Amino acid sequence: MSNKLNIVIVGFGGMGGFHFEKLNLNEHYHVQGIYDIDEAVQKKAEQESIKSYTSLDEVVNDETVDTVLIATPNDSHKSISIQALQHNKHVICEKPVTLTSEDLKEIIDVADKQNKVFMVHQNRRWDDDFHLVKSLYQTKQIGEIFHIESRVHGANGIPGDWRKEELYGGGMLYDWGVHLLDQLLWLFDYDMDNLSGELSYILGNDVDDGFTVHLNFKDVTTIVEVSTTSFIKLPRWYVKGTEGTAVIHDWDLQNEVVCPVKSKEQSHPKPIKAGAGLTKTMAPPSEDAVTKGSINSINFEMESFYDNFYHTVYGKGEPIVKNEQVLKTMEIIEKVFEAVQDEKVIKF
Ligand code: NAD
């Protein structure tokens, strides 16, 4: 008997298509079909010989389906998740899992009652650039990390779809914020101290087109920033440690590390002309006072998201993305909205 999971993808747009390709390459899954609310999408799937269900009811009442993967706009995740779980399906759900932490708690309750696996696709825990930051943290290549800036900068505005609308859970805090916050919260084990932030509405949409969040942990300050209006980007990561500084430029992983030479006495930089004045403080360190290199990366050997879900279903592994972690991230997102609205720093 095959132990493959029979999976149906609900929502066959950009991300549904991404999952379709990945799942088809994974030996643990049989993609049984798709369901999309848009009939044109259903027809197109059928033309490509992909079984297309005509309603969510038909999916959840199909007893041969083990797992439902939800890749629909954000506001619909909750009801589809609960319906699937109540019909004894395991569920993979796209991020942001819900629009409130209370909604997520309801889903988790149903999953627990039904004894089914519910897992959120926080896939950016697998990003190689993030793993370089994890490496810096673990190897202490630049000493103890005390400050991190994590940014994604685009110049295309919010895509012209549901992401622009509040009704569907649009906006960049839900879209990208949930990834970037999840990475740092997971890295520093949810040991928050305080947060504050600003949302940007430069493009005049109902929802934020970017944000800056100052999320401070007990020993590390961070800036998390998303912009859709930056025609010149800042680096993806900027990391400061007690013994050096590192920059990761982009997802292509180009990076630089500069550390002071430990054996040297403090360098005596020559004053430089700076604007209309002179400065020694801000002069670059002399060449022999620093070493320049790149990040020594560690191989973290994480099994893929899909393998991890499969092993969790069969009781052969622990979920890498745990629901209680996702819940904490959703609570932080709520705190960011609260901090912005009340213009205050929230302490934990
Ligand atoms: P999309 O607009 O490209 O596709 C959504 C699809 O869902 C559309 O085909 C639409 O017709 C269908 N749909 C809408 N409501 C439905 C319903 N009630 N039932 C069935 N189908 C429905 O959007 P997308 O970019 O694929 O995003 C989908 C989800 O994936 C979002 O939650 C988004 O945040 C997430 N996402 C995650 C990542 C990631 O890296 N994890 C990347 C992109 C998008």
d(CA 65, CA 89): 7
Q: Please report where in the chains the tokens 């509040």 appear, as a residue.
A: 166
Question: Per residue in 140-167, pLDDT tens?
Answer: 999 999 999 999 999 999 988 899 999 9
The pLDDT value given to residue 2: 62
Nearest-atom number in ligand 1 for the CA of 41 is: 9
Query: At residue 277, does pLDDT exceed 60?
Result: yes
The pLDDT value given to residue 182: 98
* ω into 96 cis (within 30 of 0): yes
ipTM of the predicted structure?
0.99
Q: In the numeric block, which tokens belong to residue 266?
A: 């403090």
Quote the distance between the C-alpha of residue 273 and its chain's center: 43
Are the CB atoms for 154 and 129 separated by under 8 Å?
no
| 49 φψ region: left (φ > 0), alpha (ψ -120 to 50), beta (else) | left
d(CA 223, CA 211): 10
d(CA 317, CA 258): 39
Query: At residue 188, does pLDDT exceed 80?
Result: yes
Q: Please give all residues whose beta carbon lies within 6 A of any atom in ligand 1, as ranges.
A: 10-16, 35-38, 41, 71-74, 76, 94-95, 121, 123, 161, 175
> Percentage helix, strand, coil, to 5, in the chain?
35, 25, 40
SS3 247: strand
Q: In the numeric block, which tokens belong to residue 18?
A: 């991404």
Question: Per residue in 224-261, pLDDT tens?
Answer: 999 999 999 999 999 999 999 999 999 999 999 999 99
CA of 71 to the centre of ligand 1 (A): 4
Nearest-atom number in ligand 1 for the CA of 12 is: 9
CA of 274 to the centre of ligand 1 (A): 50
Q: What's the DSSP call for residue 141? A: B
d(CA 220, CA 196): 15
CA of 161 to the centre of ligand 1 (A): 10
At 78, phi and psi to the nearest 5?
Answer: -65, -55
- The percentage of residues in the chain with a pLDDT greater than 70, rounded to a whole number, is 98
Q: Using alpha carbons only, what angle is made at residue 245 by residues 244 and 251, rounded to the nearest 5 degrees? A: 145
DSSP-assigned states of every residue in 32-54: EEEE-S-HHHHHHHHHTT--EES
d(CA 257, CA 295): 6
CA of 159 to the centre of ligand 1 (A): 13
Average pLDDT, the chain: 96
Query: At residue 311, does pLDDT exceed 50?
Result: yes
78-86, long-range: CB within 8 Å, 24+ apart, which pairs? 78/103, 78/104, 78/106, 78/107, 80/10, 80/56, 81/107, 81/110, 81/118, 82/106, 82/107, 82/110, 83/56, 84/10, 84/59, 84/60, 85/110, 85/111, 85/114, 85/116, 85/118, 86/60, 86/110, 86/114
How does residue 183 score in pLDDT terms, banded at 50, 70 and 90? very high
Report which protein residue has its CA nearest ligand 1's atom 12. Answer: 11
The pLDDT value given to residue 269: 81
**Burial of 13: CB neighbours in 10 Å, binned 0-12, 13-18, 19+:** middle
CA of 58 to the centre of ligand 1 (A): 19
Residue of 270 and 36 predicted with greater confidence: 36
Are the CB atoms for 101 and 84 separated by under 8 Å?
no
Among residues 64, 56, 79, 65, the alpha carbon closest in space to that of 10 is found at 56
How does residue 1 score in pLDDT terms, banded at 50, 70 and 90? very low
CA of 41 to the centre of ligand 1 (A): 12
The pLDDT value given to residue 287: 85
Instruction: Provide mean pLDDT across the span 123-148.
Output: 98
Lowest mean pLDDT among 160-169, 223-232, 281-290, 333-342: 281-290
SS3 328: helix
Range from 6-15, 263-272, 336-345 that averages highest in pLDDT? 6-15
Nearest-atom number in ligand 1 for the CA of 122 is: 41
